[in-house]
């Protein structure tokens, strides 16, 4: 077993390694199924727009770095039709002999673009500031905190302005038909996987019609593009995000049992899942048995329009255009994962993570969480077809869920460690590192029902062996301190749910105890941060409770849709057994000691 890193401090041992599966299969042959990215020698752009996705105008403006955030420019509206904008750009280039100064480019942007509000504030008609779940919260501090979170929904509500509908090509924003809830901060549009936790929070808040509208918007995107893009901007349409649409529908039906809606829209759930099956799957053969699993992999191989200068800088080390396009493709693929960026997608020459973002190779990973999401989605779609009496489709998708579960169990589960791991497609080995995504099959209940307590028991042992209980501010995304935002020390709200609900649903008593403890720690950290500045953060610091996380390509964002949803879900499920007040005051010394220990472990040694 190859140990890549080992740091020990005051009894805390942190390790990560990549090795062959100890007693698992040897992968004999592999076969790629469906579309793969076109050859890197061919440019594949984010979309067809010559303003927002490709062409000299985008390249010239973004390379000048007029704004601190590359997303600022591509979210601007054009003052005129695209043909006029492009003609004005050509005139500017001609007048400057194709070598415009930064001031020339700034003047062109100021004359031809405007940063306007493409959406208007929207208070959902079904907003209720006092939903019933608040009444069952006995602790007044937690109840007041939850009520504050509910009050945020109108602040995050948006509806597309008529100017966007009337002139859609002047905007990068896609004009969806219904009102929606945005994540917050720089994220002023719909985001695919964020919507799952936003919807969960809305349903707890009794806002069923708002949720139906959000589902309608996602279906609109499926109808338009055959997939749900990363977000509702044209520069996102060539990549998706973690497939949670069926899970969103499952939440909605749990609360409403709206079978009329299901009958009218079930085909679009199937369309979305077929996108993943047709364009993101791999066949692997082990001991003569074929297994299908999925990986992320957009076709586009140019810089992300919303992170244009950042991508050029990351890939500048590549000496050929072919290699640079491969690097851009890997960055876009990593963005499709939702984890942009993380050591999960980085490889050194030995297959480990001891490298920088410039060594990213995200298509090489068969991610455990992606496949757990699909396993869950296939099972849900089978259930949905059962609800409306389509037995043949029910059986088809139920069998697919079973096949996927078997592939996950055979190739991704490590019985010795008692946990699932990502799979390195090139080296044909599990990547045996701690990532919160390792717990996703527990959350998705993608296991044999009769063995669920055993899975929970083993997973909690892995959790403890990894020394995660030392972290007072939440469960860290990884134990790799890389400077990337999906690594240590950041704790992301959705990932807390994977572990907490995954352990709790297993039914194992020890796993449930740990789940409740970390739900409480998370709510406590959220409340502490909220007390400081009255805001919810996009991500938190796992070492220092209540502090916001760092790293990545942009400043920390406030709002925040999925943070509010996860907090409301934890409060709703665990508030009756919560000891939040006690957690905030007890063992202050232990919390400080743990934080100091972790600080010196990761930043000083």
* Cα separations in angstroms, 152 against 30, 94, 205, 428, 565: 49, 49, 11, 46, 11
Tokens 């991500």 found at: 539
- Is 417 a catalytic site residue? no
Pairing outcome for strands 119-121 and 157-160: antiparallel
Residue 12 CB burial class (10 angstroms; 0-12, 13-18, ≥19): middle
Which among 511, 475, 508, 507 has a CA at the least distance from the CA of 492? 475
DSSP class of residue 171 equals: -
Write the CB contacts of 146 (distance below 8 Å, at least 6 apart in sequence): 133, 134, 137, 567, 568, 571, 575
CB 344 within 8 A of CB 422: yes
Q: Mark out the alpha helices in 96-239 (DSSP H runs).
A: 102-112, 140-151, 153-156, 162-166, 194-204, 208-225
| DSSP category for residue 291 | E
Express the helix, strand and coil content of the chain in percent, nearest 5 each. 50, 10, 35
Query: Exposed, middle or buried by CB within 10 Å (0-12, 13-18, 19+), for 313?
Result: middle
Q: Look up residue 65 and give its two tokens.
A: 């770095």
Residues 290, 77: Cα–Cα separation, whole Å: 50
CB neighbours of 156 closer than 8 A, spacing ≥ 6? 181, 182, 183, 184, 559, 561
CB 387 within 8 A of CB 262: yes
* CA atoms of 552 and 341, how far apart (whole Å): 7
Q: How would you label 578-603 residue by residue, b for 16+ Cβ within 10 Å and e otherwise?
A: bebeebbeeeeeebeebbebbeebbe
Contact of 488 with 433, CB cutoff 8 Å: no
- Which of the residues 194, 311, 538, 541 is marked catalytic? 538
| Residue 492 to residue 337: CA distance in whole angstroms | 14
Active-site annotation holds for 533: no
Distance between CA atoms of residues 215 and 228, nearest Å:
11
Q: How far apart are CA 485 and CA 467, in angstroms?
A: 21
> Cα separation of 366 and 281, whole Å?
9
**CA 428 to chain CA mean position, Å:** 25
Which residues have a Cβ under 8 Å from the Cβ of 103 and sit 6 or more positions away?
none
DSSP state of 167: S
Q: Roughly how many angstroms between the first and final C-alpha of the chain, as a whole number?
A: 24
Residue whose token pair is 């469906």: 34
Q: Catalytic one among 306, 340, 467, 497?
A: 340
Which residues are the active-site residues?
340, 538
């Amino acid at each position: 077993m190859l140990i890549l890193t080992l740091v020990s401090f005051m009894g805390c041992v942190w390790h990560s390694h990549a090795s062959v599966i100890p007693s698992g299969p040897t992968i004999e042959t592999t076969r790629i199924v469906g579309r793969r990215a076109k050859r890197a020698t061919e440019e594949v752009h984010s979309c067809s727009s010559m303003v927002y996705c490709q062409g000299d105008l985008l390249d010239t403006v973004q390379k000048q770095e007029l704004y601190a955030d590359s997303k600022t420019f591509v979210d601007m509206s054009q003052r005129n039709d695209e043909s006029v904008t492009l003609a004005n750009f050509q005139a500017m280039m001609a007048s400057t002999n194709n070598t415009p100064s930064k001031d020339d480019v700034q003047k062109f942007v100021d004359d031809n673009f405007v940063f306007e509000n493409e959406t208007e504030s929207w208070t959902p008609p079904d907003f209720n500031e006092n939903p019933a779940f608040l009444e069952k919260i006995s602790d007044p501090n937690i109840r007041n905190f939850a009520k504050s979170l509910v009050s945020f929904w109108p602040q995050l509500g948006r509806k597309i302005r008529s100017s966007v509908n009337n002139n859609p090509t002047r905007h990068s924003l896609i004009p969806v038909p219904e009102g929606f809830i945005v994540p917050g901060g720089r994220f002023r549009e719909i985001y695919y996987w964020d919507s799952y936790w936003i919807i969960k929070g809305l349903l707890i808040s009794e806002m069923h019609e708002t949720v139906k509208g959000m589902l309608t918007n996602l279906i609109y995107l499926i109808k338009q593009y055959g997939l749900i893009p990363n977000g509702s901007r044209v520069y996102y349409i060539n990549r998706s995000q973690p497939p949670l649409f069926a899970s969103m529908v499952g939440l909605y039906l749990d609360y409403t049992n709206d079978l009329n809606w299901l009958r009218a829209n079930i085909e679009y759930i199937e369309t979305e899942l077929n996108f993943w099956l047709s364009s993101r799957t791999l066949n692997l053969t082990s001991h003569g048995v074929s297994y299908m699993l999925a990986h992320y992999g957009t076709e586009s191989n140019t810089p992300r329009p919303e992170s244009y200068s950042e991508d050029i800088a990351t890939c500048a080390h590549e000496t050929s255009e072919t290699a640079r396009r491969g690097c851009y493709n890997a960055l876009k693929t990593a963005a499709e994962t939702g984890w942009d960026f993380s050591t999960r997608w980085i490889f050194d020459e030995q297959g480990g993570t001891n490298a920088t973002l410039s060594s990213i190779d995200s298509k090489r990973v068969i991610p455990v969480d992606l496949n757990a999401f699909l396993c869950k989605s296939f099972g849900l779609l089978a259930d949905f077809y059962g609800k409306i009496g389509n037995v043949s489709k029910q059986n088809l998708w139920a069998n697919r869920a079973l096949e996927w579960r078997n592939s996950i169990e055979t190739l991704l589960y490590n019985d010795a460690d008692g946990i699932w791991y990502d799979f390195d497609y090139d080296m044909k080995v599990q990547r045996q590192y701690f990532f919160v995504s390792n717990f996703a099959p527990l959350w998705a209940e993608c296991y044999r029902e009769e063995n669920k307590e055993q899975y929970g028991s083993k997973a909690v042992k892995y959790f403890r062996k990894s020394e995660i209980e030392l972290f007072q501010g939440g469960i860290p995304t990884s134990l790799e301190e890389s400077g990337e935002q999906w690594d240590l020390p950041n704790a992301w709200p959705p990932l807390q749910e994977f572990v907490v609900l995954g352990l709790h649903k297993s039914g194992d008593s020890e796993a449930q105890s740990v789940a409740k403890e970390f739900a409480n720690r998370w709510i406590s950290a959220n409340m502490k941060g909220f007390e400081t500045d009255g805001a919810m953060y996009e991500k938190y610091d796992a070492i220092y409770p209540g502090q916001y996380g760092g790293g990545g390509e942009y400043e920390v964002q406030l709002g925040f849709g999925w943070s509010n949803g996860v907090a409301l879900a934890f409060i709703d499920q665990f508030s009756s057994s919560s000891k939040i007040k006690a957690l905030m005051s007890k063992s202050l010394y232990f919390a400080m000691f743990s934080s100091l220990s972790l600080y010196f472990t990761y930043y000083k040694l």
